[in-house]
Chains A and B, each alone.
Chain A
Amino acid sequence: MSWRGLTLRMARLGILLTVSAVLAGWARPASAQIRIEVPEPGGAGVPIAISPLSNPDSHAEQQIGETFASTITRDLTLSGLFRVLDRRAYIEGPEGFVLDHINFQNWSVLDALALVKGGFWLTGERLTIEARLFDVTQQKQLGGRRYIGHKRDVRRMAHRFADQIMLFLTGEEGPFNSKIAFISNRVDGRIKEVYVTDLSGTEVRRVTQDRTLSLGPSWSPTGAELLFISYKQGGPYPFKLDLATGRSARVYARIAYGASWSPDGTRIAVSIDQNGNSDLFLLSPQGQLISRLTYHGGIDVSPAWSPDGRRLAFCSSRTGSPQIYVMDIETGQSKRITFQSAYNTDPAWSPKGDRIAYTARSGGFRVMWTDPDGGEATHIVRGEHPSWSPDGRYLAVTRRGRLYLVSRDGQSLQQLTGGSGNDTSPAWSPRLP
């Protein structure tokens, strides 16, 4: 078990949350340090108790407090960093969620190191949540957040607080206030639509109603739009979907196989059919051709941007089998970075820039990673089509028609989607507002 002691300061609090306010006790002197040690994903996990929220005013709508707790429970379990203690063992009830009203003995006997408690208030449809994170051993409040919004936003508030718990205990915000776009034929086997799910897997929404084949969603850097390939005008063309209005528009009037937005939003890399062969091109987001990037007779597909927007990883069959290459966009120079198997596709560049994950075929399909400059290939998990979380700690992959989330070392694996149909091509959004 590799316990990594993390020394964390309280002062890193410049986070602007549109629906939250910093509560007293979150900002602390820079000298204060947390004693809780957070292990790598896949270790035993920090034991944490997550109490349902209580409503001091009324016993109505208790499910809001339950939903908040269960959403955080699922997020923290997914993180692989925590072991959420079984609710049934809790001695203390949800009420009493400020420091002086908590009997920490009730939690230390359960071996909890951290505790989440809080309250909620309803005014009509308007929901206010106050959530607090406590250090059980030191009997201190580590942080608190207030969220105000519509009551149906309770899961979003919970995801944000889960992200804050991650920030507080690991120094880096969690990825849970984000979404995953994917392709599914769950409604009608021969029709593939684009779906978006939250990270609970409970709020799954179909965002196209095209009754045709849709492929390969890719997020805009703001999370407001999706690029995807659709057959709704005959052959596969690239489309741009505005998620707020549900409207989509063709981006480019040529057959295309995949498209990907640059991290700064100014360019779209796209694989376009060029007399029966696919090559990579750059377009503006409005669909103007900027430049052509590849000229090979082999297949060139699946462009994936480096976080600085200067390089593209892509898949090419130019040597006879699909392999991953990295191109410097400025010079046009490409370098092959995969050598271990005869079939390597679907590169995904980590948000920190340090790894390229991809799909390899070797005794079934598996997700591997390697250095962007080439080097050893490391197995992560069985599955296909990796997409990185915005914090770079996790990947979404598809396995046997289901989406899974996996920690980047492969140690923690959680199923995200289920039910009928095939769910494929996950694309993890940026952090959402």
Chain B
Amino acid sequence: MHNNKFRGGWLISVLLLSLGLIGCPKQSPQPMSYGSTPSTSSGGSEMDESAVGEDERIQERVQQEGEGGPLQDVFFSYDSFELSEEARQTLQANADWLQNNAEVKVEVEGHCDDRGTAEYNLALGAKRARAAQDYLITLGVPAERLSVISYGEELPQCTDSNESCWQRNRRGHFSVLR
């Protein structure tokens, strides 16, 4: 299981500071009313302000794929979480680097192309992340240094409708947590 409090730690702090995001007011929802009481007027523009929540850094994290350093992505076939020979070679190189950088913790992200349904792709992304994680463990990377998360089709690298773009999106990505 991943740890949501510390994921992305230093990297995200730098990112947030550089974007000036820490300290921005977070907007909270305008109450809606249903039923016979009058509803509020038109859509979503009126909001209250409130303090920045503890979650904020994680939320901003979602906007930007985590940095993997020298760790390379692995790629999958459509609707598959099988590791190709090429993916295994990439994972071997990633495992070697992780062996030489024993303090590094990594979150393995599973991603999908956008052909398919969001929910199925979330589950498929989890399988991809898990397949990559399992293989790294068999190569000797301690399990406690690896966590997994699926982003399904939600964070594409590109949005074109062609095979080369879809292929780039069907990936396992490695995000260094430290």
Which residues of A pack against B, CB within 8 Å? 18-19, 149-150, 152-153, 156, 183, 188, 190-192, 195-196, 203-213, 215-216, 223-224, 229, 231-236, 243-246, 255, 257-258, 271, 273, 275-278, 299-302, 315, 317, 321-322, 343, 345-346, 359, 361, 365, 384-385, 424-425, 432-433
Contacts and interface: CB of A to CB of B under 8 A. Distances in A.
20 contacts: A149-B36, A183-B118, A188-B63, A196-B32, A205-B32, A206-B29, A207-B29, A211-B56, A211-B59, A212-B55, A215-B118, A223-B34, A235-B2, A246-B30, A246-B31, A257-B150, A273-B123, A276-B129, A322-B79, A361-B116
A278 B54 CA distance: 28
Contact of A236 (B28, B56, B122): B122
Given A209-B29, A244-B31, A299 B123 contact: yes
Nearest to B63: A190
A299 B44 contact: no
A204 B44 contact: yes
Interface of B: 1-5, 7, 26-36, 38-39, 41-44, 47, 55-56, 58-60, 62-64, 79, 115-120, 122-124, 126-127, 129-130, 148-152, 154-155
A384 B155 CA distance: 19
- Sort A-B residue pairs by CB-CB distance and give the 4 closest, nearest first: A234-B4, A246-B29, A276-B130, A150-B38
A271 B29 contact: no
A424 B56 CA distance: 24
A254 to B, nearest CB: 9
Contacts of B4: 233-235
A411 B156 CA distance: 34
Contacts of B43: 203-206
B55 A299 contact: no
Contacts of A299: 120, 123-124, 127
A359 B36 CA distance: 36
A208 B35 CA distance: 20
Nearest to A302: B119
Contacts of A215: 118-119, 122, 152, 154
Contacts of A213: 62, 151, 154-155
B41 to A, nearest CB: 5
A433 B36 CA distance: 7
